[in-house]
Amino acid sequence: FFQAILAKQMALGTKLTEMKQQIVEKEKVVAQLDKYIREINALKQSFTFALLKLPNAREIAGLLASVVLSGQEAGVDFLLFEPKPPEVKKPEAPPKPVNVKAPPAKPAVPEKFYDEIPIKVQLAGGFHNTVSFYAKIAKLSRIVNVEEIVMGDAKDVMGRGRIVRTSCTVKTYMFVDRKQ
């Protein structure tokens, strides 16, 4: 009779210890809740700021005009200014696990909220004018990257000095609401 009561008491004692441990773990999570809420709010604020830097479809023409105006102000001549259709960037899939016997659960893949808009550009101008053009587009209020820069040999042009032909890809990014 007493043995059954002692066994039950030991089982309840073990369960009580486990529950106290769970309470301690839950209290740790609750203690960090404010920290996580602050982090989420900071991320939301960063996301909002990033959206301000990404034009929507209606604003792209104005941004492209700003790039051309920056070139004219810098004193370069555009030989080619060819916007390409937006490139939809697919999010990278996580690496596949090795030695998994059961089929893995399909991971949640975040959707990109922007498309890349590449613009093939060829320009001619003095070296300093070309660098000034790049500096001007770097200061635009929207995100504009310059990639694949190739500068040719400088050639003397009567009345203009040494002219360098440059080709590059200018990329800007457009906000896309994929929910629509």
Residue 170: beta bridge partners?
119, 146
Q: Which of 63, 51, 46, 61 shows the shortest CA–CA distance to 140? A: 63
pTM over 0.95: no
For the chain, 180 residues long, give each residue's pLDDT as a single digit of tens: 788 888 889 999 999 999 999 999 999 988 888 888 999 999 988 888 777 777 777 788 888 899 999 999 999 999 999 988 876 655 555 555 544 444 444 444 455 778 888 999 999 999 999 999 999 999 988 888 999 999 998 888 887 788 999 999 999 888 877 665
C-alpha–C-alpha distance, residues 120 and 82, integer Å: 5
pLDDT score at 169: 94
Query: Residue 91 has what pLDDT?
Result: 54
> What is the structure's pLDDT at 95?
53
Cα separations in angstroms, 19 against 28, 42, 164: 14, 35, 75
pLDDT score at 129: 94
